Amino acid sequence: MHASFKKWLLAEPRIRSVRFQYGFLAFIIGFIIFEAVVAASLSPSYRLGRLFGFIVPFMFLFNHLAYQFRWSQKVTIILRVVAWVWIVFGLSYMMFVICKR
């Protein structure tokens, strides 16, 4: 593995404070619950954009877990890869939904 890629993938998280870590995590979970309620209230004819509201909250969740908490090396790598894969998937899905309209 290239040294700079390895350094980026395994860099220690810049932890601001415990209140920020868990406070923002609670906010993200609340945001996901809010989006689930909104998605459940949408009409069935709104199929294409129904999942649109789950993209950003899960981007926040995966990135927050990957970069604000200390994990074992293996879990850190997995979380960071999942976070970046979700960003690519999310941006692709958003472009698909926007271009489909």
Residues 6+ apart with CB under 8 A from 20: 68
CA distance 32 to 16: 23
CA distance 70 to 54: 25
CA separation, residue 35 to residues 10, 15, 82, 97 (Å): 32, 27, 21, 17
CA separation, residue 42 to residues 2, 30, 50, 74, 98 (Å): 47, 19, 7, 39, 18
More confident residue, 6 or 1: 6
pLDDT at site 48? 60
More confident residue, 51 or 81: 81
| Per-residue pLDDT tens over the stretch 65-93 | 999 998 898 999 899 999 999 999 989 98
Please, are residues 9 and 71 in contact by the beta-carbon 8 Å criterion? no
